[in-house]
Amino acid sequence: MANSEHTRRTFFGLTGGAAAMVIVRPADATPAMLSAAIRNVVGEANVRTGKVKLEIPPLVENGNTVPMTVSVTSPMTADEYVKSIHVFNEKNPQPNIGNFYLGPRAGRAQVSTRIRLADSQKVTAIARLSDDTFWSATADVVVTLAACTEEAI
Amino acid sequence: MRVAACIALLTAMAGAALAAEIPLDQRRSGYSFMSADTKAMQDEDTDNPGMLSVLDGETLWKRKAGTADKACADCHNDAHVSMKGVAAHYPAFEKAFGKPVDLEARINLCRTNHQQASPFAYESRELLALTAYVAQQSRGVPIAPGDDPELAPFVEKGHALFMQRQGQLNLACANCHDDNWDKKLAGSAITQGQPTGYPLYRLEWQALGSLQRRLRACITGIRAQAYDYGSPELVELELYLMSRARGMPVETPAVRP
Amino acid sequence: MPSALINVPKKAKRGDIIEIKTLMSHIMETGYRHTASGDVVPRDIITSFTCRFNGTEVFRADLYPAIAANPFITFFTTVTESGKFEFEWIGDKGFSETASASITVE
């Protein structure tokens, strides 16, 4: 998963690399793929900044398991609620992370999960409200490398 | 830049004289070096992916196996009672072999001798699950291995291995984990290498793993040839590390980055 | 031998908003890794998670390879009556697991 293997490979190379590292470096999700993935969800609608809060550590110890919470400001009534939350990333092999479908009975528009980030990058959360407006928040995450790693598989 | 810093630090370590063992009152679990987010993963059982293996272990504990058609529970009954504190005393001396065995090896001995079943492979899902289930019954119990006087020479062997420089980087365990545990290597904290929570869920692995797996990874990290799973060297290192962590509470299943 | 950990309060008052936590054992193999011999490790992930209360869907998620191994998902729901939450995980290679948890509304 980790595209950041590249830096590790350099390190191993310089130090004589006793370990057989298995390097996988698939193409990163491109900005075009990211915008296509977002268009796939929002269509031609305008996405505004606000209402959405994206909680993710700015500096993570391991990109394999990054805790993330998205919450949306909404009264969550039958007339005014959050329909869905969509989370995207900039530099993983795929731009999508997850789609979460809720409704008025959720009571509170908040979901948490753990995600993988192949490299330091931006994460974007977009919420679709009951009036079909879209709101977003973006966060920058720095992924540090573990000093000592072993074979990937 | 990071690569250069990394090599500089490792070189500095390689050149430094060995300091003494960590004073008892300064010992710290790897937990204390973690970020709040990673700590939270260990704090709540329902947030801790290591608990999934504990659940698997509970199922295996009750499942009949081997030609004896016996489950662990048929002899040991309720693990909450019979296994409380057991893991805190491992590795333990095995008279039949004249040497110490770790908890994984003890479980496999039980399988071959009493269940008459084939042993589980090292790092197999089953062996990790049963080990985690047994060790979790000791959560909070102070680590106390090595009371058996017959273990003393093996603790010494483990200590010698811990102090032995090896690999292309010419580093001993002690260079990092006794002498530089308050520093960082690349972005990661260098811990004291206290084995308080094994088997544990490592975010790097995205899975549960044993202390032997962690030791092998560390040895690979200093560019040395890792000892085989089950080798006397790894068990002696485990034994020394557990005696070094004497009195610290068991955390299994811990979470680490 | 997949295991799930579900955290649902056993009791609640009518109208309470409760948090539900779920953890499902799964490797979440991305499909972007290779073995030492160069073969692609085929994708093997959970693609869908659904929570129903007394038969009605209350939460659903689409999962991608960027969800970490052993998917952990938490969400909220309003308690209206006593009943049963049912959880379903569906994925590649025919993966299909369910779990349930009951709640008593006072």
CATH code at A98? 2.60.40.2470
In a domain, A130, yes or no: yes
Class of domain B29-257 as given by CATH: mainly alpha
Three-class SS state of A153: coil
Parallel/antiparallel/unpaired status of strands C56-63 and C46-53: antiparallel
- Describe the strand order of the beta sheet including B207-209 as a list of residue ranges: B207-209, B200-202, B255-256
Integer Cα distance of C5 and C24 in angstroms: 6
Residue C91 touches chain A, beta carbons under 8 Å: no
**Is position B76 annotated in a ligand binding site?**
yes
Nearest CA in chain A to C75: A111
Residue B152 touches chain A, beta carbons under 8 Å: no
Cβ-nearest to A153 among C33, C66, C74: C33
Q: Which chains touch A (3 or more CB pairs under 8 A)?
A: B, C
Give the CA-trace dihedral at B195, B199, B203, B204, to 10 degrees: 80
In a domain, A38, yes or no: yes
Bigger pLDDT: C94 vs B187: C94
Residue C33 touches chain B, beta carbons under 8 Å: no
Bigger pLDDT: B9 vs C49: C49
Task: Name the β-bridge partners of A140.
Answer: A122
Give, for B127, the enclosing helix (H) or strand (E).
helix B125-136
In a domain, A92, yes or no: yes
Task: Name the β-bridge partners of B78.
Answer: none
* Total of domains in chain A: 1
Q: What is the pLDDT of residues B158-185, one digit of tens each?
A: 999 999 999 999 999 999 999 999 898 8
CA A48 to chain C, closest CA, distance in angstroms equals 23
Q: Are C11 and C104 in contact (CB under 8 A)?
A: yes
B218 is catalytic: yes
**Is position B6 annotated in a ligand binding site?**
no
Nearest CA in chain C to A71: C75
Class of domain C4-32+42-105 as given by CATH: mainly beta
CA C46 to chain A, closest CA, distance in angstroms equals 11
Distance (Å) of CA C13 to CA C20, C22, C55: 15, 22, 20
Chain C residues lying within 8 Å of A66, measured CB to CB:
68
- Least confident stretch, B58-72, B139-153, B157-171, C64-78: B139-153
Nearest CA in chain A to C38: A22
State the average pLDDT over residues A105-112.
97
Please give the structure tokens belonging to residue B10: 């490792």
Report the share of chain C in percent with pLDDT over 70. Answer: 99
Q: What angle do CA A88, A107, C19 make, to 5 degrees?
A: 75
Q: How many CB atoms lie within 10 A of CB A48?
A: 12
- Least confident stretch, B153-157, B230-234, C2-6: C2-6
Give the CA-trace dihedral at B201, B207, B212, B217, to 10 degrees: -100
Q: Are A22 and C35 in contact (CB under 8 A)?
A: yes
> What is residue B12's predicted lDDT score, i.e. its pLDDT?
52
State the average pLDDT over residues A16-40.
65
Band of residue A114 on the pLDDT scale cut at 50, 70, 90: very high
Q: Which are the contacts of A118, defined by CB distance < 8 A and separation ≥ 6?
A: A1, A2, A3, A4, A28, A63, A91, A92, A93, A143
CA C81 to chain A, closest CA, distance in angstroms equals 12
Distance (Å) of CA B210 to CA A139, B8, B122, B228: 35, 30, 9, 13
ipTM passes above 0.85: yes
Q: Are B34 and B257 in contact (CB under 8 A)?
A: yes
Please give the structure tokens belonging to residue B247: 């009195």
Q: Phi and psi for B108 in degrees, rounded to 5? A: -70, -35
Parallel/antiparallel/unpaired status of strands A121-129 and B99-101: unpaired
Give the CA-trace dihedral at B45, B46, B51, B54, to 10 degrees: 90
Q: Which domain does A105 fall in, by range?
A: 26-148
In a domain, A33, yes or no: yes
